[in-house]
Chains A and B, each alone.
Chain A
Amino acid sequence: MTDRKIRVLIAKPGLDGHDRGAKVVARALRDAGMEVIYTGIRQTPEMIAEAALQEDVDIVGLSILSGAHMALCPRVIELLREQGLDAPVIVGGIIPADDIAALKQAGVTGVFGPGASTHDIIEFIRTQVQE
Chain B
Amino acid sequence: MDLIADLLAGNRRALARAISRVEDRADDARGLLAALHGHTGRAHVIGLTGAPGTGKSTLVSALARAYRATGRTVGVVAVDPTSPFSGGALLGDRVRMRDLAGDPGIFIRSMATRGSLGGLARATADVIAVLDAAGFDRILVETVGVGQAEVDIASAAHTTIVVEAPGLGDEVQAIKAGVLEIADVFAVNKADRADADRTVMALQMMQGLASAGHHGPQPGPGPAQPGPQADGAWLPPIVKTIATEGRGVEALRDWVEQHARYLRDSGQLARREQARAAAALDHILRDRLLADLLARQPAERLPALVAAIAGRALDPYAAADALLADS
Contact = CB atoms under 8 A, between A and B. Distances in A.
Given A46-B101, A47-B102, A56-B19, A26 B25 contact: no
Contact of A32 (B23, B86, B107, B108): B86
A34 B89 CA distance: 6
B115 interface: yes
B86 A54 contact: no
B102 A3 contact: no
A83 B19 CA distance: 17
B37 interface: no
Given A33-B88, A36-B88, A2 B25 contact: yes
Contact of B115 (A3, A32, A35, A51): A3
A31 B26 contact: no
A97 interface: no
B90 A26 contact: yes
Contacts, number: 92
A24 to B, nearest CB: 12
A33 B98 CA distance: 26
A9 to B, nearest CB: 9
B24 A4 contact: yes
Interface in A6-37: 7, 26-27, 29-37
A40 B99 CA distance: 12
A47 B101 contact: yes
Nearest to B82: A35
Interface in B111-164: 112, 114-115
A54 B108 contact: yes
Contacts of B110: 35, 37, 55
B95 A2 contact: no
A53 interface: yes
A31 B83 contact: yes
Interface residues of B, number: 33
Contacts of A38: 90-92, 94-95
Given A31-B88, A54-B107, A3 B114 contact: yes
A23 B163 CA distance: 27
A37 B82 CA distance: 12
Contact of A33 (B20, B25, B86, B91): B86
Given A2-B27, A32-B86, A38-B90, 18 more contacts: A1-B25, A3-B114, A4-B24, A26-B90, A27-B90, A30-B83, A33-B88, A35-B88, A35-B112, A36-B89, A36-B90, A36-B91, A40-B95, A40-B98, A43-B98, A54-B109, A56-B19, A85-B13
18 contacts: A2-B27, A3-B23, A4-B24, A7-B20, A31-B83, A31-B86, A32-B88, A35-B82, A36-B89, A36-B90, A39-B94, A39-B95, A47-B102, A50-B102, A53-B12, A54-B108, A54-B109, A84-B13
